[in-house]
Structure 1
Amino acid sequence: MMQLLYDYCEQIQLSSVDLRPYQINERVSFEYWLKTLREINAKHPISGLGIEIGGVVQPSHVGVLAYIAQNTANLAQFFSMSKHYINLWYHYTELHFEYQKDQAIIWWEQPSYVKSGLYVYETAISKEIMVSILWHLLIQLVGESNVHFNWIEFTSSKPLNTEPYHLFHCPVKFDAEFTRICLPRRLLELPMRRPDSILREILESHAEQSLNTLPQEDSFIEKVNHHILEALEQQCAFIEPIAEKMNMSARQLQKLLKEQGLSFQQCLNTIRLELAKKHLRDEVYSITEIAYMLSYNQTASFNRAFKSWTGLNPSQWRHQTQNAKKQLIYEI
């Protein structure tokens, strides 16, 4: 998927984004993926950015799953097996399928950090990319005249310019709880253009081997982050209760994190920093209130920690951010 971002930036000649060519099975952390989307959006801020990025997609960006899809009998067969193989393509958030009498609904989970207000916009762009990719891949699989969505829901706010979303020729809702796509059931019965059952078996065998060697660090780190966010809400951000919730000892949790090149304190600090920046930008809470929300017993402890992370204390960082925002508005 990182290759998709690289190819998109090459296409629009956005050379200032720090990207390079990626191997077909090369994987990065979800945080790195989101920060790259943030960088692209900052340097190329347009409505429907995810829709445009997804429009660049080729089967090689999706990997073996796209080639398996080309060799299934129909979309129903593809969707029935895609949940099993989805982690080979987009392993960041869980995908769900629901089948009703005359329609099928595809939807994505919201990661725990989004529920706490972190990476909200970047995750919304990521979901736009997924919807756009699905649209363009379906066209490649069964032909443009056959592809139709009943409706789409996005978690992002409605943009001033909704023209990019007209691509789907269906009702589009914004500010939804989940990103969802509704397809007519008849679409799932359409045959693929040139299916090859023997080739599909070969590809599935390769996919199974890839799944067996797939690293589990992203889902594990996501669980740790989820429990840290819950612990912060409960004013109990310590490793022991979090390890207990994950059915292991604190020592076991530290060992597993160490295998990923991390520590519990690093995970906790990363989340605290992102939440602190969010609250400081929002200008709703005082420094003391933010310290309490991040489970610090004393404001001075929060001030010292924040300065060690950013080089500025919270008040200085907030002031600097406010000035930068005012300067941007003045320039516009």
Structure 2
Amino acid sequence: MQSFKNYTGTMYGGLGQLLYVYAQAKNLEISEKLYKIQNLERFEFHIWRELLDEINEQVDHPALGLDIAQYVQPKHLGIIAYIAQSCDTLGEALTRYYDLHRLIYDGGPLKVDIQGKSLSIRWEVLPIHLTSQITDEIALALLVQFLRLYLNFDDIQLEKINFIQPAPKNTRIYQDFFHAPIKFSQSRVELILPQQVLNASCKNPDSTLQQLLVQQAKDLLNNLPTTTQLDERLQQNILKGLQKNNYQIENIAEQLHMSVRQLQRYLQQQNTTYQERVQEVRLLLATQYLLDPHLSLHEIAILLSYSEQSAFQRAFKLWSGLTPRQWRQAQTKKCK
């Protein structure tokens, strides 16, 4: 039988940071292996398994994955967190995830099916002998915890949670976490929700992207000849449009309740163009994304709606005089 060490799947680097945060919070011994992965963009699945096993040996908790999930933050989930928080609904976020799931975890793609009035979300492909109760429960718990924290998910009742592993001694802790019926020894790891969850809206006021805009875009707006409420709305819509790869001037003008000609005329009065405003927002976002060591240049290019990484690299060098990698390395040196 194949050893899990020979499995080629990889994990997003931010999940290693999540384990580090958890270990610190619980005053655990932090292994050299856990230290080493803190600044990696990705690491191998077998290391994820080994780290979870190491922590499990130190923590007397009947549902370790559920406990770890309570420490999750958007930075631990990377590109999917950025995109999910910029989407208007969960259905929109899931649609975007289909295109990007391998950037988060390239071993077990997410499967979503409509079953009557219910929505089934599950992970497949990963061979059963490579999983454990901890890996399964943390996968579901991270998803549910993220939904609770960053989407309007409080009023949505989960219908059922399925696990493939046998039932542990204490099943009540799972019911208390998920607030749903739990079944063990099932054919697959699965989360079942009411189909109406697809219309659940994001908590935009809590969005990392919205906070970024409020905190950092002010300097950019102050450089304009006159800063108006329209400028702020324009920048917000461009920012969200970039995350959805839907930032064309026709769509942005419609959101501002203007015609394309009216928007172009307004920008012309400020001696700028729509494309220049888009590039300003892209530069603002690029410098923030580059500060996250777990985001690869490919992922950043996607977040900025570039069709190719090379196009992002050329544009960034025109803005800053440095390649994205050089800029990131320079910032890392400053922090040391």
Aligned to 1:72: 87
The answer (yes or no) to whether the contact 1:155–1:178 under 8 Å persists in 2 is yes
Instruction: Tell which deviates more after alignment, 39-48 or 139-148.
Output: 139-148
Aligned to 2:135: 126
In the TM superposition, residue 22 of structure 1 has moved relative to its aligned partner by 5.1
Give the SS at the match of 1:145. coil
Aligned to 1:111: 126
Task: Give % identity.
Answer: 29
In structure 1, what is the Cα distance between the partners aligned to 2:193 and 2:237? 25
In structure 2, what is the Cα distance between the partners aligned to 1:94 and 1:191? 24
Q: Between Structure 1 and Structure 2, how many residues are aligned?
A: 207
The answer (yes or no) to whether the contact 1:70–1:192 under 8 Å persists in 2 is yes
Residue 195 of structure 2: which of 155, 179, 185 is its match?
A: 185
- The answer as to 2:42 corresponding to 1:27 is yes
In structure 1, what is the Cα distance between the partners aligned to 2:196 and 2:244? 25
In the TM superposition, residue 147 of structure 1 has moved relative to its aligned partner by 3.4
C-alpha change, 1:148 and 1:199, in structure 2 (3 Å) is farther
In the TM superposition, residue 25 of structure 1 has moved relative to its aligned partner by 6.4
* 1:77-108 Cα distance to aligned partner (Å, 9 max, x none): 11111121122223331211101331110011
Q: Detail structure 1 runs of 4+ shifted over 6 Å in the superposition.
A: none
Give the SS at the match of 1:157. coil
Aligned to 2:16: 2
In the TM superposition, residue 142 of structure 1 has moved relative to its aligned partner by 2.5
- The answer as to 2:99 corresponding to 1:59 is no
1:238-253 matches, cutoff 5 A: none
Aligned to 1:96: 111
The answer (yes or no) to whether the contact 1:72–1:197 under 8 Å persists in 2 is no
In the TM superposition, residue 129 of structure 1 has moved relative to its aligned partner by 1.0
Residue 199 of structure 1: which of 229, 239, 244 is its match?
A: 239
TM-score by length of 2: 0.56
Residue 169 of structure 2: which of 126, 148, 160 is its match?
A: 160
In the TM superposition, residue 210 of structure 1 has moved relative to its aligned partner by 5.7
In the TM superposition, residue 168 of structure 1 has moved relative to its aligned partner by 1.0
In structure 2, what is the Cα distance between the partners aligned to 1:176 and 1:7? 32
* 1:234-288 Cα distance to aligned partner (Å, 9 max, x none): xxxxxxxxxxxxxxxxxxxxxxxxxxxxxxxxxxxxxxxxxxxxxxxxxxxxxxx
Give the SS at the match of 1:149. coil
In the TM superposition, residue 201 of structure 1 has moved relative to its aligned partner by 3.6
C-alpha change, 1:24 and 1:142, in structure 2 (3 Å) is farther
The answer (yes or no) to whether the contact 2:52–2:134 under 8 Å persists in 1 is yes
Question: CA RMSD for the aligned pairs?
Answer: 2.5
In structure 2, what is the Cα distance between the partners aligned to 1:87 and 1:110? 12
* 1:210-244 Cα distance to aligned partner (Å, 9 max, x none): 6977xxxxxxxxxxxxxxxxxxxxxxxxxxxxxxx
In structure 2, what is the Cα distance between the partners aligned to 1:12 and 1:46? 11
* 1:26-84 Cα distance to aligned partner (Å, 9 max, x none): 11011111111111112224211111111111000001211111111100111111121
Give the SS at the match of 1:181. strand
The answer (yes or no) to whether the contact 1:25–1:63 under 8 Å persists in 2 is no
Please, which runs of 5 or more residues in structure 2 have no aligned partner? 1-14, 208-235, 246-297, 310-336
Give the SS at the match of 1:104. strand
Letter in 2 for 1:85: L
Aligned to 1:139: 148
